[in-house]
Structures are given as structure tokens and as C-alpha cells.
Amino acid sequence: MQVISAEQVDAALNFPDLVDALSAGFAAPFEMPARQMLELAPEQGHDCLGLLPAWTERLIALKAFTYLPGNAARGTPVLHAQVLVFDRRDGRPLAQLEGRSLTRWRTAAVSALASRLLSRPDARRLLLLGTGELACPLVQAHLSVRPLEEVLIWGRRPAQVQARIEALRARGCRARLAAAEDLKAAQQSADIIVAATGSGEPLVFGELLPPGCHVDLLGNHRPDQRECDTALVQRARVYVDSRANALREAGELIIPMQQGHLEVHRILGELADLCRMTLPPVRAPGSITLFKSVGTALADLLCAQLVLKRLGMIQA
């Protein structure tokens, strides 16, 4: 079994190819039990251990990760992860991949894939909420699927916003880059909104969004927190990466349900349904679309599979 480093993962991947690989993989047969989020000390905070299994006709993958939010105050990563990959035919272990880098790639690629399926093809302005390590990959991923001309970045720390803008410029970002100083005003003119924050209270508001806006929420994984308000969920055509996971972890959906403002049938489909094109038309003139993701094991498997192909460890 080979151990694959973060540097090898980064060198093997690009977003056009990864987005295409995810699209093909979610359209194909797979098995994916509900992921397990185990609280390490519920009385002390949000520390948890996550286990995400999935398998296809070709591979078995299991991601294990730890999430310790308190690490941020100590200047250490809040997430550590490893992905184990086995051959489905005989069960042989094939590789262990560094999981933080793989998670960044697959999370950004899933966001871009959802946008390719749900946002307007002529979308020009992206508003990104969040300045963490996902910020640059998210922008790059969305640039690979839509002809974006302007990207606005919002964060609570102006210095961090500027740092992400400079990092994107250094990577040759073709869109105009600027800080979103007025978050509510920025929402009113956005074609695509991506929220990747740790906020426990709504930052995206349904009453502010223009017709045709696409919203992607990926920062919150807790049932008692949310990045958007109830009005947005009520107004939008709602899709998720996984019903099983979202209905256990996504406060954006769970809180409105508990309030009696949302019913399960309002969730129109999963990412696999969208990729298989088994749903009615997802875009209507002026409609708002909402994609809520909490992370899937299949996306980890498909990302790992592409890395192993690029490294010559499995056949293309």
C-alpha cells in the first residue's frame, strides 16, 4: 500500500478534470452508507470524529477525519484526515491519501459541479463568504465552470480577505477581485453565492437575493446552526449532496423543518439525481436555486480515484 502526500494530491489534480470525474461518478452506480459523526466530548464542545465509507464496482474508500474547532485559537488546523482506498475486486489495500488536501479539492469541485448543474450559464458575479483554506480553491473551481467576470470576497477580518485576493491574483485569476465591504448589498447583485464559513447564525437572506441567483452552502455541518435564513429555503428550489447526511446535519434545513416552515418533499433531489438527469428541469426563469452540502464519501472516493489514475496506480 502506498502513502500519498498532500503534495502528490495537489500535483495530480485540476478542476476541469475533477469536476468532470465527479459528474461521471455520481451518475454511475455506487453505495454510500450515511456518514458517522461521533462527538468526542459533547459536554465540552464540538470536537468530533467522522467516518465516511463508500464503494463502487472498482474501489472501496473510507475517510476518517477529526474536527476540533478549538485548534484555530491555538494556530493549528481544525481538520485532520486520511483516506484509505481498497480494491473492490479482492479487497487489497491500495493507498492511504492525505485527507486535508483531498477534502479541499473535492469540496470545491462539488460546489462547482452543483453550480454547473444549477446556476445560470451566463452567471458573471460570484460572492464568496469565508476566507479559510477553501477560499482560493472554491474560486478557482467556479471559474472552471462559469464565465465569471467579478469575484467579491467577504470575511470578518479585512486582512484575511485581502490575503486571499492577493493569493488568487498570484495564481492568475482572470476575474476582477474585490472585498465585499457591505455583505447585504453584495447579495443583492450576485449571480452565485457560496458560503464557506463557520457562522452559527444566518449570513445569507432570502429577501435580498435577485431572481436567478444560485446559492451554495457548505460551511455548516451542525443541526442547530445555519448559514442562511428560513426565507431563503422557502423561496428556493432546494437540492442537497446527500439527503441522509443533510437531514441529520444541515441546520439550514432542519431548523425550518422544526419550525414547520419546510417539508421533506421540498428537497427536490440529490447531486446524483442531478448528474443522472432524472429530475424535471432544475432552472426556471428567475428561480433561485439552493444547494446544501455537508460532504459525501463518494466525492472522496472519486477524488482519490483520479489521483491514483494520475499516479499510474490504477488504469484509466
Domains and CATH numbers, the chain: 2-102+298-310 (3.30.1780.10), 120-295 (3.40.50.720)
Dihedral sign of CA atoms 138, 142, 147, 151 in order: negative
Residues 108-135 have a mean pLDDT of 97
- Condensed to tens digits (0 to 9), the pLDDT of residues 162-215 reads 999 999 999 999 999 999 999 999 999 999 999 999 898 999 999 999 999 999
For residues 269 and 217, is the Cβ–Cβ distance under 8 A? no
**How much is the pLDDT for 42?**
73
Per-residue cell: 241: 449532496
Query: What is the chain's mean pLDDT, rounded?
Result: 95
Please list the residues that pair with 86 across neighbouring strands.
60, 93
**Residue listed under C-alpha cell 421533506:** 264
DSSP designation for 192: E
More confident of the two residues 281 and 113: 113
For residues 151 and 173, is the Cβ–Cβ distance under 8 A? yes
Per-residue cell: 280: 424535471
Q: Could you give the C-alpha distances from 275 to 27, 80, 126, 213, in angstroms and in order?
A: 5, 30, 23, 20
Angle at 112 between CA 63 and CA 172, to 5 degrees: 105
- Report residue 102's pLDDT band, with 50, 70 and 90 as the boundaries: very high
Residue 221 has pLDDT above 70, yes or no: yes
**How much is the pLDDT for 39?**
87
Q: How far apart are CA 177 and CA 171, in angstroms?
A: 12
**How much is the pLDDT for 172?**
95
Q: For strand 214-217 and strand 289-292, is the pairing parallel, antiparallel, or unpaired? A: parallel
**How much is the pLDDT for 20?**
98
What contacts 24+ positions apart, CB below 8 Å, involve 14-20? 15/108, 15/109, 15/112, 15/137, 15/140, 15/141, 15/143, 15/144, 16/144, 17/306, 18/105, 18/106, 18/109, 18/303, 18/306, 19/109, 19/112, 19/113, 19/116, 19/141, 19/144, 19/145
Q: How far apart are CA 209 and CA 203, in angstroms?
A: 12
**Residue listed under C-alpha cell 432524472:** 278
- Report residue 69's pLDDT band, with 50, 70 and 90 as the boundaries: confident
Q: How far apart are CA 116 and CA 166, in angstroms?
A: 26
For residues 21 and 305, is the Cβ–Cβ distance under 8 A? yes
SS3 of residue 114 by DSSP:
helix
SS3 of residue 291 by DSSP:
strand
Residue 70 has pLDDT above 90, yes or no: no
Residue 316 has pLDDT above 80, yes or no: no
**How much is the pLDDT for 284?**
80
For residues 130 and 195, is the Cβ–Cβ distance under 8 A? yes
* High-pLDDT (> 70) share of the chain, %: 99
Residues 95-112 have a mean pLDDT of 97
For residues 64 and 79, is the Cβ–Cβ distance under 8 A? no
**How much is the pLDDT for 60?**
98
Per-residue cell: 223: 443541526
For residues 215 and 232, is the Cβ–Cβ distance under 8 A? yes
**How much is the pLDDT for 45?**
66
